[in-house]
Structures are given as C-alpha cells and as structure tokens.
Amino acid sequence: DIQMTQSPSSVSASVGDRVTITCRASQGISSFLAWYQQRPGRAPKLLISAASSLQSGVPSRFSGSGSGTEFTLTISSLQPEDFATYYCQQANSFPYTFGPGTKLEIK
C-alpha cells in the first residue's frame, strides 16, 4: 500500500493568515491526489482533485500543487469556517489511502 504522511499534524493560525499543509506519498503517484476538509461531526468534503483542480463551489483561497511524491494545500487567507481537519488521499493505485490529517486550529 502507498503510505501517506502529512505535516504538520496540527497548526494554530489566525484569521487572515496564509497556511500551507504538506502531504507526501511513499512512492510516486503522479498527480493522483485529492484534498478533503472535515469539520467536527461532519463528513469529509472534497476540495481539490488531481492535485490542483479546485472543486466547484470551493473558495479560490484554497489551492493545491505538486506531483510525484510531494504535494501542498495552501489557504491564502484563513476564514473562520476554514478551521477544520484536512486530509490528503492518493488516488493512483488500490487500495486508495489517506493521510493522517492536519488539524487547523484557531490561534
């Protein structure tokens, strides 16, 4: 299985800050990577597919980049509703696997 890691595991930030989360795959996955946002008590929501393709309705302050084994999710100016846990997921090969998550907390 492809192992996914994320850093940091948690981050504290303020409204208006720029935040970057890194996701690494244990082997190359081209651009087959997705990012999800999960608010407490809610199901994950797809934000980005194919490493950088923003889903319809997702604010443009979210962006994704990377290919191969290293990927980033950037939130350009944090809003109160962005405080949540973020997961990456490799979509290159079975079984699909997720990262352990990055919890974004209010400073």
Partner 1 sequence: QVQLQESGPGLVEPSQSLSLTCTVSGGSISSGGYYWTWIRQQPGKGLEWIGYIYYRGSTHYNPSLKSRVTISRDTSKYQFSLTLTSVTAADTAVYYCAIGYPNWFDPWGQGILVTVSS
* First vs last C-alpha separation in the chain: 36
CB nearer partner 1, residue 72 or residue 85? 85
Residues that bind partner 1 (CB under 8 A): 32, 34, 36, 42-46, 49-50, 55, 87, 89, 91-92, 94-101
The distance of closest approach from Cβ of residue 70 to partner 1 in the complex, given in angstroms and rounded to an integer, is 19
Q: Number of C-alpha atoms within 13 angstroms, CB side, residue 101? A: 11
The distance of closest approach from Cβ of residue 96 to partner 1 in the complex, given in angstroms and rounded to an integer, is 4
Residue 95 burial class via C-beta count within 10 angstroms: exposed 0-12, middle 13-18, buried 19 and up: exposed
Count of Cβ atoms closer than 10 Å to residue 106 Cβ: 11
CB nearer partner 1, residue 14 or residue 42? 42
CB nearer partner 1, residue 14 or residue 56? 56
The candidate with the shortest Cα–Cα distance to 54, out of 70, 75, 40, is 75
The distance of closest approach from Cβ of residue 19 to partner 1 in the complex, given in angstroms and rounded to an integer, is 20
The distance of closest approach from Cβ of residue 20 to partner 1 in the complex, given in angstroms and rounded to an integer, is 20
